[in-house]
Structure 1
Amino acid sequence: MSNRVVEGRMVTADRLAELIEGERPMESEAIEDADRECPDCGGNVLQVGYMPSVTEFVTGYKCQDCAWSDDDRD
């Protein structure tokens, strides 16, 4: 897992998932660039796959520069 800078702080994949989800995930994958711009500030967006529970896998998205985040839930 690689660490990345988000809102001026170095974060791990677990911490990035926690920022998106609001609580610590059971497991998370490596952080990747999301190939999209933030709709709020136009900044770079990162993505991370994580398991908030044993029966669910979510891909979360978080801007590196502002508080915007989203996930792929319907």
Structure 2
Amino acid sequence: MSENRVVQGRMVTRKSLAELIEGESVMDAEPIEDADRDCPECGGDVLEVGYMPSVTAFVTGWKCQECDWAETDRE
């Protein structure tokens, strides 16, 4: 299966998806997975990606494929 996915009409890689969620560049990202949830804003499909915004942090982020909604597990 291709690593790239379509989000809001654009093709994203695991790293560019993580950067969409984070709002800035990230060091590394894990493969994109389908999250077992629907978007709370539009009901669309949600993708999940784990990534490292820095050498000391690991964050799991979620992004809707249809709208601007995104969140992370960061406290």
Whether TM-score is above 0.5 comes out as: yes
**RMSD of aligned residue pairs (Cα, Å):** 0.9
**Deviation string, structure 1 residues 2-60 (Cα, Å, up to 9, x no partner):** 00000001100000000000011100000000100000000000000000000000000
* Within-5 A mapping of 1:26-65: 26-65=27-66
2:15 aligned partner: 14
Larger mean Cα displacement after TM superposition, 1-10 or 52-61: 1-10
Letter in 2 for 1:43: G
TM-score by length of structure 1 reads 0.97
Separation (CA, whole Å) in 2 of partners of 1:43 and 1:61: 12
**Gap regions ≥5 residues in structure 1:** none
Separation (CA, whole Å) in 2 of partners of 1:47 and 1:24: 17
**Gap regions ≥5 residues in structure 2:** none
The number of equivalent residue pairs is: 74
Percent of residue pairs bearing the same amino acid type: 69
